Chain A
Amino acid sequence: MLYIPAAVGFALLVLPLVGLFARADWPRVPAAIVSTEALTALGLSLQTALSATALCLIVGVPLALVIARSGPRLGGLLRALTTLPLVMPPLVGGIALLYLLGRNGLLGGFLGLAFGIQIPFTTAAVVIAQAFVALPFLVIAVEGALRTAGTGLETVAATLGAGRWTVFRRVSLPTILPGLLAGTVLCFARALGEFGATALFAGNAAGVTRTMPLAIYTAFNGAGATQDSAIALSLLLVVVGIVILLLLRSWRTTPGM
């Protein structure tokens, strides 16, 4: 009896992709993918998603450590606030970012007056939007790994005379490595697919803020002929997603990790 709903669920996840693959005008896909617009968008997407992932690693791992080592009350509160962007529509995130960092925003007005810095409509805005939506994935994964690992081993290492850095490098890091890798990959994938917050906060300019998802949206909503390139770009993103999943699998199954 379980097979029927299971099959429906599986079909819901997989059949749309079959539809996408079926609709593609295959002979024209290669040309659409290597077109200047597509390559510009792909390059920008990779560059911004990698930057956002790096940013998330720099601030996310310490944040996860703080949450994991906080007491139940503070930890719970921090965890809930960190998870908020995860359950919030990215469009809302975009509006919120605009009202914080926009020219008339809480912080943006000050940045503009004091340093002449304008964030909206720049590549930096794309990275910030991507980091905003992707950071929770990393924090949750790392924090989960940290909590599961506990502090027992670290305490033992410390009592055996290891310094803080040695404990982190030789004990903490190896125990959380699978969680950290999974979190990083999910974080990158989420950043790569980011659309809503980027569209509202960063705008849509070719080569500056038009990442793959925005290029797909622009092409799909353009005149008839460009829709082929929307489909081709979508296929490319699906393939990137599959590659990411395969990488994740190979990491997990690598002996010794």
Chain B
Amino acid sequence: MAHGSDRGRGTRRWTRAAAAVIVASTVTLSGCSHSVSDSLTSAQPDQLQGSLTILAAASLTESFTELAAIFAADHPDVTIAPISFAGSTTLATQIREGAPADIFAAADEATMRSVSDLLEGEPIPFATNSLQIAVQSGNPLNISELAGLSVPGLQLVLCAPQVPCGATAQSLLESENIVLTPASEELNVKAVLTKVQLGEADAGLVYVTDIAAAEAVEGVSVPGADEVKSTYPIGILETSVNQTVAGAFRDFVVSDRGQNILAQFGFGRP
């Protein structure tokens, strides 16, 4: 009996150790993505303090995580709440319904205009992005152009036309005179990407930056995509309780340092 329970405890201990290893490796992995922040941290003492809540377009997931980490390292007294990444129009709806936030970074100007009456001052354009065709690694269907997406049986997923990536996709398709029937219209660009990553969709139109940040997909460049770039604006919300911190973060994003980081993720300068 005693032997048996000893062994039971041993197993439990082992399980706990395994769990600890998993947790530790996850922490290490997530730590890796912040290596850039460590190298760029400059020790400039300042008086900025308080909290900062950011709402950012889904396509900014990787870049804003990085920007926020660097900003937090620069200003140790500023607490940045976990950033809400979602479709820009989803976030705009939340803002209209009174979500407490300081900063809104949208994936296009139309969405930012829809909350213009709730902004403090004018929004500032800080990045541009263009579309690419996302396909599975190795491009098994040899998709090389937009017209190739209309092949019968090909599962295409786009963003809904109401959201920025879908609006951009629509202007691109219109400018190229191509009509496509998507199998699904998603409400943010990451949902499109996931469908391609899972192999449920053969192709999707997503931003260049999403493909650069993703695994198991590759991008096919589209001629004409540069003509229908979307411009990302950043604005400070009128209800922000800490306008100074919010202003400092916005200035950081549009500064040369912020722009260099965005460029690393594939964004263009406005």
Contacts and interface: CB of A to CB of B under 8 A. Distances in A.
Interface stretch (A128-136, A169-177, A219-227): A219-227
A208, A222, A226: most-surrounded residue (chain B CB, <10 A): A222
B208 to A, nearest CB: 24
A103 B183 contact: no
B92 to A, nearest CB: 8
Contact of A222 (B89, B155, B183): B89
Interface stretch (A38-46, A71-79, A199-207): A199-207
Interface in B185-221: 185-187, 195, 198-201
A118 interface: yes
B199 A103 contact: yes
Contacts, number: 67
A217 interface: yes
Contact of B199 (A104, A205, A206): A104
Given A102-B198, A104-B198, A223 B110 contact: yes
Given A121-B184, A203-B195, A226-B162, 5 more contacts: A102-B200, A121-B200, A205-B184, A220-B93, A223-B162
Interface of B: 87, 89-90, 92-93, 96, 110-111, 114, 155, 157, 160, 162-163, 182-187, 195, 198-201
A120 B162 contact: no
A224 B114 contact: yes
8 contacts: A98-B198, A103-B199, A104-B199, A121-B200, A209-B184, A218-B185, A223-B162, A224-B96
A120 B155 CA distance: 10
A121 B183 contact: yes
Q: Which of A103, A203, A218 has the most CB of B within 10 A?
A: A203
Nearest to A221: B90
Contacts of A206: 185
Given A103-B199, A204-B186, A218 B114 contact: no
Contacts of A222: 89, 160, 162-163
Contacts of A120: 183, 200
B96 A121 contact: no
Contacts of B182: 205
Contact of B184 (A104, A118, A204, A224): A204
A186 B184 CA distance: 29
